[in-house]
Amino acid sequence: MPKGYVIARVTVTNPEAYAEYAKGATEAIRQYGGRPLVRGGAYEALEGPARARNVVIEFDSVEQAKRYYHSPEYQAAKAKREGACEAEFVLVEGAE
């Protein structure tokens, strides 16, 4: 079964509110078995527009990643980032 990866590209516009989101999201990631592989850090735009915050979270399966994203715990955290950032989130199936 291929792993599932949640990939987020984020521009934070309200650091205080985003920090509250990050606390809840981190707990939900842990609760649903996610492993952050990339969380912030230095980056270089190689092609196209870039965002300053890039996150990659690995889950044991695409289904587990979906359970995390749609969970009540993550949805409560997600509500705290409304208006705190501009972002894209995608779920990608890993190679077997």
Query: What domains does the chain contain, in order, with CATH numbers?
Result: 4-43+50-93 (3.30.70.100)
Q: Which residues of the chain have pLDDT under 50?
A: none
Rounded to two decimals, what is the model's pTM?
0.92
Residue 12 near residue 75, CB atoms below 8 Å: no
Q: Rounded distance, CA 52 to CA 41, Å?
A: 9
Residue 32 near residue 75, CB atoms below 8 Å: no
Residue 2 near residue 59, CB atoms below 8 Å: no
Helix (H, G, I), strand (E, B) or coil at 88: strand
* Predicted pLDDT of residue 49: 92
* Predicted pLDDT of residue 1: 86
